[in-house]
Structure 1
């Protein structure tokens, strides 16, 4: 297992990993669908189903567009499913909606304390999300850990998109730490496959998003209930 290597840096996904996906994003998904449907609730429900969310139960299919896609990918899926908005209008609206959603997001734990603990142990810390960079930075500022993060990458930051390896390689370059000494932590297979393709030393799945233990088991070295369990597996590695 790759987890036997020394880990000196940790790259986190945001939604479903640092933020509780169901509490933070189900209302946002519904709001997006209503906009894309131009107010037609029946069409909005259809759009949600086609992009991965059951409009009645709120269940989000692991690795679906709403679970793992970036703004442009979700917009393409909405258009293909019959949205009444144009592609670029959806992208622009979604970027703004997702950035403002940071003010309503629900963290998995006290993120400032969590990042302070890891920072104090000497780890370099980063965030790589399929959301836009502005939204990531708003989240870090709102929860008080922006000054503890060495690297931020969104789908629009120039490092490519998940599950390609660019965000991990960018983190490696920014910190000067070899990819084999980086842990990638996320709630879906886009995150874990990104880590695999980059050659990350450790791939950790968490169950606070849209992935399940079953869906994450093949690509992860560890599958945790949430990020608060991360430190329990790191001291033996670092």
Structure 2
């Protein structure tokens, strides 16, 4: 029997993983829907519902468009549900609003310290998000963990979209790691399936996003409350 490869790299999702999804994105989702509806409150509620968010309670259906989709997919969903804007125009505006939302994002923990500690342990680190690359970089700058990143990929970075394997394979190309040496950490099945499709050595789910233990169990090797528990499943896999 061949021994498993050690985990030497960790690729994180952003929203719902590094950032608290409800505290960061529920207000943004409402703003996005109002824009897509051009101020029509009834239509805005219909757009939210069609894309997976209850406009009253704020509950977001796991793996729905607003939980896991990229900007183009969300824009398309809004248009199909009745937005009068074009997908192209809506995508451009949603990308800008998403990047601006980094200023109001709520982190799950002290991300600068969290990433610094992992880097000091020897891990190669990256972020792969269905958001745009600009938003990821602005988030990393704001919370001070940009210096510890070896790789950043958004849906618009040229590596494909989740759950395709491209973002993980891009991380491997950037770091020289084999997919089996990589742990993928995320809050929804798009993240976990991306890891599995790429042959990642470990898939780790967290509950700070829209997924539940029930929805995430099949696709993950571990399901944690949040990323601060990550070290509890890595001690025997420390890089050598």
Secondary structure of the structure 2 residue equivalent to 1:236: helix
- Structure 1 position 4, deviation (Å): 5.5
1:233 to 2:233 alignment: yes
* TM-score between both structures, scaled by the size of structure 1: 0.98
The 1-side partners of 2:4 and 2:216 are apart by 19
Q: How does 1:27-38 map to 2 (within 5 A)?
A: 27-38=27-38
State the partner residue of 1:184. Answer: 184
Which deviations, in whole Å up to 9, do the C-alpha atoms of 1:23-62 show, x marking residues without a partner? 0000000000000001000100000000000000000000
State the distance in 2 between where 1:87 and 1:152 align. 25
For residues 83-137 of structure 1, give each alpha carbon's deviation from its aligned partner in whole angstroms, at most 9, with x where no partner exists: 1211111001000000000000000000000000000000000000000000000
Deviation at 1:233, TM superposition (A): 1.1
The equivalent residue for 2:11 is 11
Q: Secondary structure at the match of 2:211?
A: coil
Aligned to 2:215: 215
TM-score (norm 2): 0.97
- 1:26 alignment partner in structure 2: 26
- Structure 2: distance between partners of 1:180 and 1:56: 43
SS in 1 for 2:191: helix
Q: Tell me the equivalent position of 2:136.
A: 136
Match of 2:79 in 1: 79
- Mean Cα displacement is larger for which, 3-12 or 178-187? 3-12
Which 4+ stretches in 1 moved above 4 angstroms? none
1:67 aligns with 2:52: no
Where does 1:117-156 land on structure 2 (aligned, <5 Å)?
117-156=117-156
User: Over aligned residue pairs, what C-alpha RMSD do you find?
Assistant: 0.9
- Equivalent residue number for residue 39 of structure 2: 39
Query: Corresponding residue for 1:114?
Result: 114
Aligned to 1:167: 167
Pairing of 1:45-64 with structure 2 (within 5 A)? 45-64=45-64
Alpha-carbon distance in structure 2 between the residues aligned to 1:125 and 1:137: 14
**SS across alignment from 1:125:** strand
Matches of 1:92 and 1:62, distance apart in 2:
25
| Equivalence for 1:158 | 158
Q: Gaps spanning 5+ residues in structure 1: where?
A: none
Query: Structure 1 pair 57/178, CA: closer, same or farther in 2 (3 Å)?
Result: same
Give the whole-Å Cα distance in 1 for the aligned partners of 2:91 and 2:80. 14
- 3-state SS, counterpart of residue 116 of structure 1: helix
Segments of structure 2 that go 5 or more residues without pairing to the other structure are none
Alignment length (residue pairs): 236
- Counterpart of 2:203? 203
